[in-house]
Every structure is written in structure tokens, then in C-alpha cells.
Amino acid sequence: MKLFVKEVVNSIKHIGAIAPSSRYLANNIIKHINFEDNQVIMEFGSGNGAITKQILKQMPSSSRLISLEINDPFLKHCQDKFKVYNNFEIYNHSAIEFDSLLKQLEIEKVDYLISSLPLAILPKADLDVLFKKIPQYLINDGSFVQYQYSLNKYKFLKSVFDNVTLGFTPINLPPAFIYKCT
Ligand SMILES: C[S@@+](CC[C@H](N)C(=O)[O-])C[C@H]1O[C@@H](n2cnc3c(N)ncnc32)[C@H](O)[C@@H]1O
């Protein structure tokens, strides 16, 4: 929590939150993942690892979690905190260009994209580039799961995906909406 507060003060523009996700929010997000062997899960914006931790706790060892984080202190924190997991990788690589990393790693598609990106403050050009690519990189029955503190991108997400279901977690600072998009 101390690291989170420090990084929020240094970089609120990129973090877009005042506190890490609560365990309730993290669990409500990952209940949308149907964990199976040999999956690839990609996470956008691991922060200090609130959601990362819950994914790693449930993910089988044959599956792989690839997290992207552009904040170095958060990246180092997660590298250290989750070093016991051989199926976890984290890169200082922007989620906007997640496809170039997948190409480097020779991965065609992923099963799940779990995003904590602050969509409300992302530049429109980045948003458009990112969401044009996301559906192309999900397997057929894959999902994109995102949380937000407001509903301001609900309509936008419905314009990108065939199906968007909405959830709500009151026990979080602030309370959060969860979009599951397929
Ligand atoms: C709202 S915080 C969420 C952190 C954590 N997942 C949680 O739920 O507590 C958003 C995170 O996304 C990261 N971030 C912002 N823009 C990013 C980008 N373009 N690529 C990768 N990570 C990014 C920030 O550095 C920050 O750690």
C-alpha cells in the first residue's frame, strides 16, 4: 500500500486510482476466468499485484501469465513478489502495443486479457488503437475483463464487443464496475 501511495503521488496520470484493488474486486474479476491447463492470460497494468496475485493463486502451472506494467517500481515489486512462480512474466511494455510483445514471444492469441488500464484518462487515439486490436488477439471463446470506477466507457465497449456484461463491486476504494467482454 505504501508503494502504491508513493507511485500515485509521482504518476497519477498513468495510474488513475487512489488505492490498489481490494481482494473482493480482484476475486470478482478473476471469477470470469475459467482456469484450464495451457492457457495464456495477459494482464494490462499489474500495479502492485493485487489482481496478479489472485490469478497466480488459481492458475494451473501449465498456464502462463504475462503482465505488462510501465511503472518501474511496480514492475520490480511484482518481479520480486512473484518470483516463485515460474509461469509468470512481467514486462515494461505498454499495453497499447501488447501485440508487438506477443509477436516477439511467438504467441498468436491469448485466452484472457485482464485490464486495469485507466480507460477514462487514456488518450482517445490510444483507446482506438488498443480496442481495434484486442478482439483480434483473443481466442474464439476468450474474454476481455476490465474494471472502471465509472460507466463512462460502457457504451464504447459495447460498440467494440458482441457481448458486454456488467458487474459491480461495492467493497473497493472507490467502488468499481467490472465489464466482461466477449
Ligand atoms: C488503476 S492501476 C491498477 C493496478 C492493479 N492492477 C490494481 O488493480 O490494483 C493501473 C495500472 O496500469 C498501469 N498502466 C497505465 N498505463 C499503462 C500502459 N499503457 N501499459 C501498461 N500498464 C499501464 C499503471 O502504471 C498502473 O500500475
CA distance 35 to 62: 11
For residue range 54-83, what is the model confidence (pLDDT) as tens digits? 999 999 999 999 999 999 999 999 999 999
| Candidates 3.40.50.700, 3.90.1150.10, 2.30.110.10, 3.40.50.150; CATH matching 2-181 | 3.40.50.150
What is the position in ligand 1's atom list of the atom closest to the CA of 26? Answer: 8
Q: Is the CB of 19 within 6 Å of ligand 1?
A: no
Q: Is the CB of 102 within 6 Å of ligand 1?
A: no
- What's the rounded mean pLDDT across residues 74-101? 98
* C-beta separation of 120 from 150 below 8 A: yes
Predicted confidence band of residue 87 (pLDDT cuts 50, 70, 90): very high
CA distance 1 to 146: 21
Atom 15 in ligand 1: which residue has the minimum CA distance? 14
- What's the rounded mean pLDDT across residues 123-149? 97
C-alpha cell at 28: 470478482
Q: Is the CB of 96 within 6 Å of ligand 1?
A: yes
Instruction: Name the pTM for this structure.
Output: 0.95
- What's the rounded mean pLDDT across residues 116-136? 97
Predicted confidence band of residue 148 (pLDDT cuts 50, 70, 90): very high
Q: What pLDDT is stored for residue 79 in this prediction?
A: 98
Q: Give 3-state DSSP helix, strand, coil % of the chain, rounded to 5.
A: 40, 25, 35
| pLDDT greater than 90 at residue 155 | yes
